Structure 1
Amino acid sequence: MTRDEAFFQFLLRMGDNTLILGHRVSEWCGHAPVLEEDIALANTALDLIGQTQMWLGLAGEVQGEGKSADDLAFLRDAWDFRNVLLVEMPNGDFGRTLMRQFLFDAWHSIMLTRLRDSKDARVAAIAEKAGKEVTYHLERSGDTVIGLGDGTDESHARMQEALDYLWPYVGEMFEGDAVDAEMAEAGIAPDPSGLRADYDALVGRVLAKATLTIPDSRFAHKGGRNGRMHTEHLGHLLTQMQWLQRAYPGATW
């Protein structure tokens, strides 16, 4: 694998994470429990889609085949996506959605902080811009997890159930491979395994305040980052997300 090939795969991973999670969060538009949450979730989705535009736009540039961010978002099949499995998990109830958001935001904030020091100026610039948005995402999702976890008996039970369900998908974010090794050697991105200690500390503080118990297991579902094994949920999501472009190829309005 050449460095440009590895760089392309890394950019797909970053962009696909935000694209798929952005679409998932957007599914709440008009359905959130209160108006304030409806607006907040819609804004989070818009932030993530905006970050996708930057990551996939750069991916198309690095690939050198004349593909735009839209091409990469709407004209790839499920096995070509490189997002972690966590972000393709269905929304479930409001508690599960916010727990998924928090678990991803914690990783995302740490990764973007490291990427600000990337030797590739384009990556550093994207991380700088995205990091400001993700700081807010993390503050909001963390506060909501605390409020619900340390709330009523029902809200606490739902948040613990959400954590138990989603925790096995956390470990994949820290799995390294040849792409990560190449990016670390080039000084473009950190080795993901090196983020775990900071992640555990951050997540542990928040979940302790939420009176939630972290499952005692490091088992990790994986396969999304290299496209070997996505869940069935991704295919259903792409059917909704891509159908217009597939039905009317190249249409503009």
Structure 2
Amino acid sequence: MLHKNPSQLHKMACKKLLLMFSLLVSLLLLLSISPCATENVTVSVYYETLCPYCADFIVNHLVKLFQNGLISIVNLRMIPWGNAFIQSDGNFACQHGPDECLLNTIEACTVAVYPDVVKHFNFIYCVEHLTLQRKQAEWMSCFDTARLSEVPINCYKNGYGKQLEQNYATETGQLNPPHRFVPWVVVNNQPLQEDFMNFASYVCKAYRGTKLPQACRSLSKSENLPKNSDSTNSVCYAGEDT
């Protein structure tokens, strides 16, 4: 049997230690880039297109996600169904009439055709801005404004949009607790209810990644505290006639 001298044994031990150290470093790197460490916060917005309070929330508040960098840690989901319901004949009845059913479906189609959040949000923002100006009849101009094709119109005409809306109806109907009004905002399965205007604080609190946006670091203590919002005349209630 050949016997290794002490220097050879020392070299072998060093190689083993180096290998173990390399494996440990690799494991730490994998952990640092794991989905759990960098998972974005899911923000789901349940709304209807012709509710003026939904339009105000989208145009003047939700848009800040894109302006302050919070969108980098957010998976934004827009669900245009709101307080609508499906009638016994299978047709939709919307709180603000047939035009709202049309625009709900067009926006649902735009989300499906253009899954990139920046693209479909630009279109939704445009339509909701027109709603605030009471110019929603000009909604087709938003395809040019958002630099998108009119493919979502085909989606509406061929019936796929109706299927999308039926899916949104099911999802909205399964909310727990049930939504009482729109806009109804849910952050990582936590319904904000009347405190929906304070959504940015909830996003920052829910984020568990390492790349915290400046917008979160700059939130004041008062902004990080839950607020008792007065929802009177600021939402469209389910079952309410318009």
Mark yes or no: TM-score above 0.5: no
Question: Considering only CA atoms, is the larger Rg found in Structure 1 or Structure 2?
Answer: 2
Q: Give the structure with the higher percent helix.
A: 1
The alignment's TM-score, normalised by the length of structure 2, stands at 0.30
Q: Give the structure with the higher percent strand.
A: 2
